Structure formats: structure tokens, C-alpha cells
Structure 1
């Protein structure tokens, strides 16, 4: 994954000639990993020889689930503070949902750890 670590002026040029099919292969690989800047892609490949693209959509989903989970906990805390008690079914449902979120977190992070 290319990280923008500050602007570095690029004032030197390299010109290469490639056949149409190889250009198409480069475009296909760029599209596959979600890169739009050909210059950055080619520099990264020439220097490091690899390009890692990680899809963070699962992590964004986890963040969403954690926000929902936190909101549910806050709602139960408000009810408990105002009424003094919360029924067992509500707590049981919240605990079940929380366990589901934690399992998804663990599964997703294990998947990302396997990359390294």
C-alpha cells in the first residue's frame, strides 16, 4: 500500500516502450488493487518489486458494529440509572450481540495478521 508520507518532487523522467498487451496487463493489475496513479504504481514496483493492497472494508464494518454495540450499552446504562434495573432478556440480547461483534473482530484481525 502506498502511503503519502509527504510530497517529494518528482523531476526526473524515465521513458520506456512496451507492447500494448503489457500496458493492458499493467492497467489490469492497477485496477485489481485499486490504484489509479500509474507513475506511483510503476515507481513502487520498480523499487520494491511488490505492491500490497489491503481491503479495509471489513474493518470499517467492525467499527460500525462497535459503535452500535457502544450505543446499546449506553442505552442500557441510562435505563439502569433511571429505573434501577434492566430486564434479563435485554442484557442477554446485548451480551449475545457483543459476543458476535467480538468474534467478527477476532476473525478479521487474524485474517490481517496472516498477511504478515
Structure 2
């Protein structure tokens, strides 16, 4: 077995709070070897950067859909009737909402 040679030293500073978080994460995976842990995280660690524009669009669609449903419900209570066009509009709104949610989930699954 060939022993790895590590002759380059890296150095960085952390705050006491960051050190505590590192210790907690090390404890959660059952390791006490900080060098091995930091090396593994630096080499294989995963950074996830979410683009919130997609989530904001999903929230916007949810608001539009909720508003449409509330207006439709109010009209039904006032008139006692519902129109097919209203149902179609609501269905289209739900389709856009679920389409956006599915797109976001597919992108997250690809991470």
C-alpha cells in the first residue's frame, strides 16, 4: 500500500461559532479527525446554490391561483352558480403552478 504524501499545508481562520458548527458536524458523522474531515469536505463537499427566482415565480403562481379560487368561491356563494370558463381558468392556473413546481423539483433532483 502506497502512503499518500501530503506536503502542502493549508491554513484558514474560523470564528468560535464556526468552530462549534464544525465540531457538531464532525460529531454527527462520528469522526474526531479534523484534518481528514476538512480535507474530505474541501475535496468532495457539495455546495448548493439555489436560484430564488424560480421559487419566487412559484409563490407568485400560488398567489394568482389562490386569488382565482377565492374569487370563484365568493361568486358561487353569491350567485349559487359556476361557469365552465371559470373552472377552465382555474385549471389552467393550477397547471401552470404544478408545471413550475415540477420544473423546480427536476432541477433540484439533478443537483
* TM-score between the two structures when normalised by the length of structure 2: 0.58
Over the residues paired in the alignment, what is the CA RMSD in angstroms? Answer: 2.2
Aligned residue pairs, count: 75
CA offsets per residue over residues 1-51 of structure 1, 9 Å max, x none? xxxxxx8177xxxxxxxxxxxxxxxxxxxxxxxxxxxxxxxxxx9782243
1:48 counterpart = 2:53? no
1:67 counterpart = 2:76? no
Structure with larger Rg: 2
Counterparts in 2 of 1:103 and 1:9: CA distance versus 1, 3 Å? closer
Which whole-Å CA distance do the structure 2 matches of 1:88 and 1:102 have between them?
A: 21
1:8 counterpart = 2:17? yes
* TM-score between the two structures when normalised by the length of structure 1: 0.55
Q: Which runs of 5+ in 2 are unaligned?
A: 1-15, 20-37
Which whole-Å CA distance do the structure 1 matches of 2:18 and 2:61 have between them?
A: 41
- List, as ranges, runs of 4+ consecutive aligned residues in structure 1 with deviation greater than 4 Å: none
Give the equivalent residue in structure 2 for 1:86.
82
Which whole-Å CA distance do the structure 1 matches of 2:64 and 2:83 have between them?
A: 20
